[in-house]
Structure 1
Amino acid sequence: MSLKHRIIEQFDPNGVSTYEGIFGLPFNEETADLIIIPVPWEVTVSYSPGTADGPDAVLNASYQVDLFQSDIHDAWKMGIHMLPVSNEIHNLSSSHRILARNYIQWLEAGSPEEDLERFAAVPDIINKASLEMVDWVYAQAKKYREMGKQVALLGGDHSTPLGLIKALTEEYDSFGVLQIDAHADLRKAYENFEYSHASIAYNALKFPQISKLVQVGIRDYCQEEAIMAKENNRIHTFYDKDIKEDMFEGKAWKIICDDIVEQLPSEVYITIDIDGLDPKLCPHTGTPVAGGFEMEQVLYLMKQVVKAGKRIIGFDLVEVAPGPHGDEWDGNVGARVLYRMANLFGVSQGKLNLK
């Protein structure tokens, strides 16, 4: 009997877990099929901070998530393991976040000439540090992919998945990206930061292997982004306003999901910014926007992606931020999205069965 099977036999999924792994699961990087890379990074966040603490918030809340899934038998047995949250990355983020925040405040003040010398070098400094983060994520993803593991990412802000996406472009000649988000994230070097959280979709499209970017729930974007989304034939955007108007006029969410899935190629990377949800579910995220989806709407869409035979090749969940005074609500919602996505990922990879 393998080590993994012995672990499964000894673990009680209905009891109180004594394990410190995510969701209280007993697996490690050797025995888990899915490795989650936590990235505590938020250097370029331009509104409210806190997403660097997202991985810890999700981990702490994950112990309250029951493991049973009514439509995926024994889902927990696939094995999920989250790597330790890197203090080095967190510290790098914290130190550069202060510099970026001061620079953003200078921009918002109209870039006063008297402080130009003080701030002129900041974008290069931030870009260099951000590239270090991207390269670190890329190295982690490559390591575990070469071990035969499936890999997901837990941010941090929305700049964090670029290294994972880069690693997947070296394995797949062509794939799509499904983006759940309040924001288009198509800005070129927003606030002069090349790896801005507001530029992840723009940066991802630099990879020619990404044949299609399908955006869902977008409701806060600039004119330049709207023009790019309209004119770039690799982008198909389902705006929140249009989705809601269709629903108000009687179009079923199932039919809308079918329309979304139809735009996707056979292999798909999924990026979920928690602010794509209604902000009552994620009030402390970095840039909350009124509107958005219920959690079950998004997870129903993901189930339809899998039922349509699309193959998920990786995913991320980003922009979860804990509330003040130990408020775990955002982490609780994030943990439930993460667990369900991990299980649907397993189904699409043939490691679990969907009823």
Structure 2
Amino acid sequence: MSQINDFDPNSVGVKGTLFGLPYTTENAQIVVIPIPWDVTVSYNAGAAQGPKAILEASTQIDYEVPGIPNAWKLGVAMAEIPEVWESLGRSLRVKSEIYIEWLEAGSDEALKDEMDERLAQINAECTQLMRYVEQETEYWRQQGKMTILLGGDHSTPLGHMLACAKEGEFGILQIDAHADLRKAYEGFDYSHASIMFNALQSSKINKLVQVGVRDYCEEEKNYIDASDKRVVTFFDQDIKEAQYKGKTWSEQCTEIIKELPDKVYISFDIDGLDPKLCPNTGTPVPGGLELDQVNYLIKEVVKSGRKIVGADLTEVSPGIDEWDANVGARALYRLTSLIGVSQNML
């Protein structure tokens, strides 16, 4: 406690801690669960290094948040990065790349048995990871902590979502370039492109509101259209065209928020942003949102009286410098602050 009382938010942060803050998982109110995993990524790998890169970049953050006095006092800490899963993920990534190359080359029938065996192993380990995440989430939440999942690719939050769903119904606000509604994309049961399809198998997740989607297939569009508004998508093109015609972002946020239930889980895939902010993410797509737009939307969700019950930040993939990680760290800091307000922690 003395370390917290003696902490100077205007000076140098604590080395090795999230945001350089003087908190541990024992005295923090929010625990960030890092999952270094990108086994099923279909384009560029690297998101497995996201948690470590964000942790290292986060000490450069200044703590003032407009409208949230003393935001740093909320108390946020990151759990240990699980080295066992990181190591397993690296080895499985090599196997998945061979499998994906086989698919893209036309699925040579002579190699089918070998590739089916490879796929079965990957699916089995991804299932175990999902269960690990679910158990880890339950552990921290049973300690009275709010949790945020930090990926890794966008497959990683499923166990986190399912653990949160055990506490009651909620809707997901998804910030993303992709709809992620494919069933077992490329044969991977827990593909990063299947996260929302998988999440919606839970009856406790009663709504999905997607914002910024601009890369999707016919199967996903049909899923949205047939969902009877359980899935509502604000496509990036529609957002931009409305702005060109004079509709403000504030007005559009009001429309988005009207679709959300009282309890909201935020799933923030960094590729929902303009790729100038995240050029090294696994599947970058032209277009997208500014970080300030996302922060404003989440702030308006909180101001509406809705309660944020959990969140994730995924697909931050560091390149040769810290740019992506710096953006990711700032997105995470603002997200934690707004969750703190939503949960009356500040």
TM-score (structure 1 length as normaliser): 0.96
- Quote the offset at 1:78 in angstroms: 1.2
2:315 aligns with 319
Q: For 1:121, what is the secondary structure of its paired residue?
A: helix
1:307 aligns with 303
- Quote the offset at 1:121 in angstroms: 1.4
* CA distance in 2: counterparts of 1:179 and 1:155, whole angstroms: 15
Q: For 1:103, what is the secondary structure of its paired residue?
A: helix
2:87 aligns with 91
1:335 aligns with 329
* CA distance in 2: counterparts of 1:56 and 1:121, whole angstroms: 32
Which one of 100, 107, 115 corresponds to residue 96 of structure 2? Answer: 100
State whether structure 2 residue 240 is matched by structure 1 residue 215: no
2:234 aligns with 238
* CA distance in 1: counterparts of 2:222 and 2:3, whole angstroms: 53
- Quote the offset at 1:123 in angstroms: 2.0
* CA distance in 2: counterparts of 1:79 and 1:106, whole angstroms: 47
* CA distance in 1: counterparts of 2:299 and 2:13, whole angstroms: 28
Which one of 250, 262, 271 corresponds to residue 275 of structure 1? Answer: 271
* CA distance in 2: counterparts of 1:346 and 1:7, whole angstroms: 21
Is 255-264 or 129-138 further displaced after alignment? 129-138
Q: Note if contact 1:187-1:199 (Cα within 8 Å) is conserved in structure 2.
A: yes
- Quote the offset at 1:311 in angstroms: 0.2
* CA distance in 2: counterparts of 1:341 and 1:101, whole angstroms: 33
State whether structure 2 residue 44 is matched by structure 1 residue 48: yes
2:199 aligns with 204
| AA matched with 1:101 | E
2:340 aligns with 346
* CA distance in 1: counterparts of 2:56 and 2:245, whole angstroms: 41
1:167 aligns with 163
State whether structure 2 residue 206 is matched by structure 1 residue 178: no
State whether structure 2 residue 75 is matched by structure 1 residue 79: yes
Q: What is the CA deviation profile of residues 8-57 of structure 1, one whole-angstrom value per residue up to 9, with x for unaligned ones?
A: 32110100123421000110011100000000000000000100000011
After superposition, where does 1:113-192 map in structure 2 within 5 Å? 113-172=109-168, 174-192=169-187
State whether structure 2 residue 223 is matched by structure 1 residue 228: yes
* CA distance in 1: counterparts of 2:73 and 2:63, whole angstroms: 10
Q: For 1:120, what is the secondary structure of its paired residue?
A: helix
| AA matched with 2:207 | K
Q: Note if contact 2:16-2:56 (Cα within 8 Å) is conserved in structure 1.
A: no
- Quote the offset at 1:331 in angstroms: 0.1
Which one of 248, 255, 259 corresponds to residue 259 of structure 1? Answer: 255
State whether structure 2 residue 285 is matched by structure 1 residue 289: yes
Q: Note if contact 2:170-2:207 (Cα within 8 Å) is conserved in structure 1.
A: yes
* CA distance in 2: counterparts of 1:272 and 1:332, whole angstroms: 16
* CA distance in 2: counterparts of 1:123 and 1:114, whole angstroms: 16
| AA matched with 1:285 | T
Q: Note if contact 1:19-1:26 (Cα within 8 Å) is conserved in structure 2.
A: no
| AA matched with 1:299 | N
Q: What is the CA deviation profile of residues 193-241 of structure 1, one whole-angstrom value per residue up to 9, with x for unaligned ones?
A: 0000000000000000011000000000000000101110210000000
* CA distance in 1: counterparts of 2:92 and 2:189, whole angstroms: 14
Q: Note if contact 2:15-2:59 (Cα within 8 Å) is conserved in structure 1.
A: no
- Segments of structure 1 that go 5 or more residues without pairing to the other structure are none
Q: For 1:91, what is the secondary structure of its paired residue?
A: helix
| AA matched with 1:191 | E
* CA distance in 1: counterparts of 2:296 and 2:182, whole angstroms: 29
Q: Note if contact 1:44-1:196 (Cα within 8 Å) is conserved in structure 2.
A: yes
| AA matched with 1:345 | I
Stretches of 4+ aligned residues off by more than 6 angstroms: none
Q: For 2:12, what is the secondary structure of its paired residue?
A: coil
- Quote the offset at 1:7 in angstroms: 3.5
Q: What is the CA deviation profile of residues 253-296 of structure 1, one whole-angstrom value per residue up to 9, with x for unaligned ones?
A: 00000000000000000000000000000000000000001110
Q: Note if contact 1:268-1:314 (Cα within 8 Å) is conserved in structure 2.
A: yes
* CA distance in 2: counterparts of 1:28 and 1:278, whole angstroms: 33
* CA distance in 1: counterparts of 2:305 and 2:45, whole angstroms: 38
TM-score (structure 2 length as normaliser): 0.98
Q: For 1:330, what is the secondary structure of its paired residue?
A: helix
